[in-house]
Amino acid sequence: MDKSACIAKVEDLYQRDSRKVFATLVRLLGDFELAEEAMHEAFAAALQQWPEQGLPHNPLAWLVSAGKFKALDGIRRKQKFGQLQPDLQRLAEELGEHQEYMAEQEIEDERLRLIFTCCHPAIDARIQVPLTLREVCGLTTEEIASAFLTQPATLAQRIVRGKAKIRDARIPFKIPELAELPARLDAVLSVIYLIFNEGYSASAGDAAIRRDLSDEAIRLTRLVLELLPDPEVMGLLALMLLHESRRAARTDENGDLVLLEDQDRSVWDRQMIEEGKQLVRRALATRRFGFYTLQAAISAVHADAASPQETDWHQIVALYSLLLQVEDSPIIALNRAVAVAMRDGPGAGLEIIDQLLRHKELAQYHLAYSARGELLRRSGQPQLARQAYAQALSLAKQAPERRFLQARLAELDA
């Protein structure tokens, strides 16, 4: 492999797998900041050495090993100048004795281990999910804040507190015993769901879809289902599979968004759909289902419709009403409003959306204004539709969504 190809391989590994390497280093080093620094130094070393020496047999294991010894070198330098704390002294001794070769699958599973660590009951529930999204998935504080409809500065403070709690309470980096799993399950599923959402519809950037994140979320959920065959784990996996089945139809050849009603349903992945529907049936049969299973059931209704006109909107509205009883969320209420509009006409949906926009939770949520603009357009109110789309455009950060909104505005101007 020539030098440029080697550099490209390192860059690709960084984009796809840097958080896997980071998760392993966190477990080995027991410190988030130290692991972050070691991970970056390992990739820098790869950029220097691989073009000259060639690709190692197991690149991820090489990066973990390099990061570990970079951290050890840093600890020894501090030791030399008498700056070593007792905890770092102990860590240096452990690393010096521990020549570890990580198999590929072991590194894959480190991320699940780190998720369970970040979701430990000793950590404030408000901190668990944003901490995991930042440290396990590498999402920026701004991306996480967008998912939580909150301010980046507030989330940044929570993340710092979460890392300090793990360090000070010496929370172990491991998957808990079977008896301890249910106590952490809600937080773990919340994290995985948000990972998938960021992959399914990126909050910012040039691409509408980040396949690496959605694939990782599905893989992690399968691992959790092996550990604990809970109905809501089945429901979450079903939901992700049913959404992911539409991936090929969700964007056109230019990377622009295609709305659900305009998608070519013949390219939907029927194998994913069938697996998702089977999981929904299994979860519903337990009669212990909740938030994720109900959402999966809604997606299954969409998957059953051969065309947009055949969609059973009565059933979808009923499922959203039930979902709101489980989780009183403004975003779920917004989705229900759109379903009501499809069932009863745009005016009925607009009435609900206008009520929702009076609450501050959706004030900065671009999809609320986009939905309002679409219903105003369909109800023959182009001037008001233009105002709503312009408001959505001012808030949208993802390039394909911005192009979609600009196209709608151009149509209204024409």
For the chain, which residues make up each domain, given as ranges?
3-102
**pLDDT tens digit string along 226-257?**
888 899 999 999 999 999 999 999 988 888 88
**pLDDT tens digit string along 372-407?**
999 999 999 999 999 999 999 999 988 888 999 999
Residue 134 has pLDDT above 60, yes or no: yes
Tell me the average pLDDT across 327-334.
93
**pLDDT tens digit string along 259-287?**
999 999 999 999 999 999 999 999 999 98
Q: Is 139 exposed, middle or buried (0-12, 13-18, 19+ CB in 10 A)?
A: buried
Closest CA to 99 of 122, 124, 72: 72
DSSP H or E run through 49: helix 32-53
3 state DSSP class of 197: helix
3 state DSSP class of 4: helix
3 state DSSP class of 381: coil
pLDDT grade, residue 202 (50/70/90)?
Answer: low
The whole-angstrom separation of Cα 211 and Cα 299 is 19
The whole-angstrom separation of Cα 132 and Cα 195 is 10
Contact 140, 187 (CB under 8 A): no
Beta strands, E only, 165-289: none
CATH 1.10.150 at 3-102, yes or no: no
Share of the chain above pLDDT 70, in %: 89
Q: What is the pTM of this model?
A: 0.72
